[in-house]
Amino acid sequence: MSEPTPERVFQIITGGLASCIVGASAQHGIFTALEGNPDTADHLAIRMGISSRGAQALLDGLTGLGLLTLSDGRYRNSADASAFLVKGKPSYLGALAEERMDDLRNWQKLPEAAKTGLPVASNTADEADNPFWHALVPAIAALSFPVAQMAAERLGIAKAGAISWLDVGGGSGVWSAVWLGANKQAQGFQLDWPNVNKIGRAFVANFGVADRFHTIDGDFHTTAFGAGKYDIAIYAHLAHQETPVDNVTVFRRFRDALRPGGTLVVNDFILGDDRTGHPFAMMFAAQMLLVTKAGFTYRKCDYRTWLGEAGFKSIDIVPTPTPATLVFAS
């Protein structure tokens, strides 16, 4: 058995440095500039309009993180950087890196939140008019692309004909963008706050399907879902903000809103029954502690119980290639 080394602990402790280096590099467009165009530090600095010293510091950090490679004095994107950090690609995560960098000041308050059990962040998730939604909503869209595509294949969206769905708290509208692109007869409806729906309409318009994307302005806690109106309902990354009682209540409302044989799709960071799982999903409980009054990361058994109480008979929980998990209930 080998002796322990400080390497893993050191990497974790310095994780904030890595986050800021990636966020700053994304903000200055370094990955996008290097895509298909390897360059030296000095020349890249001129192209980006930043200092030579600053460019070299960022490039050193990115190379150390394995996001760039260096050959003959020229830097180029790694496969991961090319896939996820080049602006304009649907999988772009650079905006999320920028948002995380800005959010570090809130994480400094985690000891206080742990002591009191109450949110201490300046940006709280239950404020409709909070400007941070304008940064967060588009930033997290890339996380949902592969999950929405996976769910579409599972449900046979492309060949389902003239169906409709209700996406509650749909944010950017990424689920509707993916599904409407797959099915030219479908209609997507999104219920969210007015300011968020505005973001969603602009996002979905980029995919050429805006004519079949409809928004309902309101707070999902109080705005009616309707009765027997939809073939599918979507509840993505909202259950973690709610209490168990509130989740049961909303699941019942979803059950009523679905047509006979309809399916509710839940997407969230979900832990195993023993509270283990994807590392990010496990850390996400601390995020909820910072920004919500009662939100948390819940277990698979919690969802089974809540959905059963709400009247769903068939519940299937499916892992995804992301930190999130899919739940199909009918």
Q: Does 13 share its domain with 123?
A: no
What is the domain-level CATH number for residue 292? 3.40.50.150
- Could you tell me if residue 94 is inside a domain? no
List of residues 6+ apart from 9 with CB closer than 8 A:
none
* pLDDT by residue, tens only, the chain of 330 residues: 788 999 999 999 999 999 999 999 999 999 999 999 999 999 999 999 999 999 999 999 999 999 999 999 999 999 999 999 999 988 899 988 988 888 888 899 999 999 999 998 765 555 555 555 556 677 778 889 999 999 999 999 999 999 999 999 999 999 999 999 999 999 999 999 999 999 999 999 999 999 999 999 999 999 999 999 999 999 999 999 999 999 999 999 999 999 999 999 999 999 999 999 999 999 999 999 998 999 999 999 999 999 999 999 999 999 999 999 999 999
Sole residue written with tokens 């948390």:
296
What is the domain range of residue 46? 7-87
- Could you tell me if residue 187 is inside a domain? yes
The DSSP H or E segment spanning 109 is: none
- Could you tell me if residue 306 is inside a domain? yes
- Could you tell me if residue 142 is inside a domain? yes
Q: Does 199 share its domain with 159?
A: yes
Single out the residue in 87, 102, 130 at which a domain terminates.
Answer: 87
Q: Does 32 share its domain with 81?
A: yes
Look at the chain and report how many structural domains it folds into. Answer: 2
What is the domain-level CATH number for residue 22? 1.10.10.10
Q: Does 167 share its domain with 38?
A: no
* Angstrom distance (rounded) from CA 229 to CA 218: 18
The percent helix, strand, coil of the chain (3-state, each to 5) is 50, 15, 35
CA dist list (Å): 151 to 144, 155, 160, 318, 320? 10, 6, 13, 10, 10
Closest Cα to residue 294, out of 239, 221, 234? 239
Closest Cα to residue 297, out of 282, 278, 277? 282
3-state secondary structure of 216: strand
Q: pTM of this prediction?
A: 0.90
